[in-house]
Amino acid sequence: MTSIFLKYLQYEKRYSPHTITSYQNDLSQLEQFLEYNYPETPIVEANHAILRDWIISLSEKGLNENSINRKLVTLRSFYKFILKKGAIEKNPVTKISNLKTKKGLPQFVRENDMSLILDQNLVEDDFIGRRDHLIIELLYGTGIRLSELINLEEGKIDFINQSIKVLGKRNKERIVPIARNLNSLIQKYIFVKNESFNGNVCNYLIVSSKGRKSYPMMINRIVKKYLGGTTVDKKSPHILRHTYATHLLEKGADLNAVKDLLGHQSLAATQVYTHNSLGKLKKVFDQAHPKA
């Protein structure tokens, strides 16, 4: 039943390969738990008490609340699917609530630090140097997600109108403007890339040292290297997305516009960045207002 569910996510829900892999891993972990603790209970017969037992075991192993809640999303989706298919008569996840989490504000890199990171003088003038630098410029200059960067094709770049067409979550496309300097950097990089591989390279913008499509571990490694001197805890591509949104709002960008640029479904997902911007506004108020 799990294989049918995963095909449903792929072909009907059109989830990304990364999301489908996460769902698959969650269900595999549950099946391993059942095999060890409830060997006579297949996944379709797991009841409310058994699933709660699995959630408790995850917590006891030190898995954080956010990760457990993400696995609950998988369970809800899976059991809702097999209920609809008539494989079960009752959804065992209905009465299982999310764990309470500590909601921290998204971390971001300070503007001065980003300026130092993007200093042109630090870029090595070869394919690898230009590629690595462009990855940081793209993530910070557009706010695109890791998967969107990896799947960005050269043909989706409009150099005349200075924009890129991004394929986001659930295969929804959006247009993201790019700055003039980033437009120029992309063109120079493509020239060096084609020269390095004699034109024998895939059509994805960011490629590996062998001219093949890039992959998450490669991008994460490059971002971690560039953000090494910053104070952010998790040096990941998503931090640069947070930084992009926060800096836009600090400069007075409209919240709805930032929402569209990020490809968020709802305004609530974007509003979290206003808290970071509020800190800067409070400093301005304290320094300038007579009654502060």
Sign of CA dihedral 32, 35, 37, 38: positive
State yes or no: is 241 an active-site residue.
yes
Q: Which of 23, 140, 226, 273 is catalytic?
A: 273
Among residues 7, 3, 87, 8, which one has the least CA distance to residue 46?
A: 87
The amino acid sitting at 80 is K
Residue 36 and residue 42: Cα distance in Å, rounded?
A: 11
Q: Which of 76, 80, 110, 169 is catalytic?
A: 169
User: What string of H, E and C letters represents the secondary structure of 177-227?
Assistant: ECCHHHHHHHHHHHHHHHHHCCCCCCCECCECCCCCECCHHHHHHHHHHHC
Q: Which of 131, 241, 242, 259 is catalytic?
A: 241
CB-count burial class (<10 Å; 0-12, 13-18, 19+) for 149? buried
- DSSP β-ladder status, 173-177 and 157-158: unpaired
Q: Which of 130, 131, 133, 145 is catalytic?
A: 145
Q: Which of 76, 156, 213, 264 is catalytic?
A: 264
State yes or no: is 18 an active-site residue.
no
Q: Which of 48, 76, 174, 238 is catalytic?
A: 238
Any idea which residues carry the catalytic annotation?
145, 169, 238, 241, 264, 273
